[in-house]
Amino acid sequence: MADQTFSVVCICGSLRKASYNRMVMNALPGLAPAGMTLTEAPRFAEFPLYNADVEAIGIPPSVQRLAEAIRAADGVIFNTPEYNFSIPGGLKNAIDWVSRVPNQPFAGKPIAIQSATNGPLGGGRMQYDLRRAMQFLDAVTLGKPEIFIGNCSQKIDAKTGEITDEGTKKFIGQQLAAFAKFIERHGGKH
Ligand SMILES: Cc1cc2nc3c(=O)[nH]c(=O)nc-3n(C[C@H](O)[C@H](O)[C@H](O)COP(=O)(O)O)c2cc1C
């Protein structure tokens, strides 16, 4: 894998400025294996609510931009909290929009999921739902290692944005290394 390079886009499921999940996302380049570049995907904050009548007028440019970023990447990482045991509404709306782009870009795309929450389970229930949505869209989702950062305010310094828990950093590094191999096997760009 030494001279392989992988471009990964990260989609943050939280819109708030002080998001723990965005802090995790921002820490990824320092934990990634050689050759893996990570960038934030275009944000979905301005997407309209999905409505087939709006779609009939045309897919909004902001949706096209996210779809193109996914299409151009070798893999996608979701960094997202869990809301009410499931996918945050804004993120689900973004996935629904992107799924409507012709030749939708999640098909065949390697996906990894990381979630941070203040609850003890770290977003585990949301991950089931996100995996199901990705399954329907014919993405290929990394099974293990799984990243559930529970009680995240005790593991991430809200002031500096740094992950302070060494175990968490180690698990994330292991997942990114596994994801690089997974991408190599599945070849995500198309
Ligand atoms: C509407 C809403 C629903 C939530 N539901 C859950 C939940 O089901 N499970 C959980 O662990 N945390 C839940 N939380 C707490 C979030 O995980 C916590 O606020 C987290 O810090 C949000 O992620 P962020 O810091 O990236 O914005 C919920 C928060 C909100 C605002």
> What are 11-65's pLDDT values in tens digits?
999 999 999 999 999 999 999 999 999 999 999 999 999 999 999 999 999 999 9
Q: 3-state SS string over the chain?
A: CCCCCEEEEEEECCCCCCCHHHHHHHHHHHHCCCCEEEEECCCCCCCCCCCHHHHHHCCCHHHHHHHHHHHHCCEEEEECCCECCECCHHHHHHHHHHCCCCCCCCCCCEEEEEEECCCCCCCHHHHHHHHHHHHHCCCEECCCCCEEECCHHHCECCCCCCECCHHHHHHHHHHHHHHHHHHHHHCCCC
For the Cβ of 82 lying below 6 angstroms from any atom of ligand 1, the answer is yes
d(CA 130, CA 7): 21
Would you state the pLDDT for residue 188? 56
Say how many Å lie between the CA of residue 118 and the centre of ligand 1.
7
Q: Whose CA is nearest to atom 27 of ligand 1?
A: 19
Residue nearest atom 4 of ligand 1, based on CA coordinates = 83
pLDDT of residue 4: 82
**Would the CB of 89 count as within 6 Å of ligand 1?**
no
Residue 101 CA to residue 51 CA, distance in Å, equals 13
Contact 149, 122 (CB under 8 A): yes
Q: What separation in Å is there between the alpha carbon of 154 and the centre of ligand 1?
A: 15
Cross-strand pairs, 76? 9, 111
pLDDT at 50: 98
119 lines ligand 1 (CB under 6 A): yes
Pocket test for ligand 1, best of 14, 15, 83 (most atoms within 8 A of CB): 83
pLDDT reported for residue 1? 46
Return the residue whose CA atom lies nearest to atom 31 of ligand 1: 83
The low-confidence residues of the chain, meaning pLDDT below 70, are 1-3, 188-190
Which residue from 15, 117, 149 has its CB within 8 A of the most atoms of ligand 1, so it is best to mutate?
A: 117
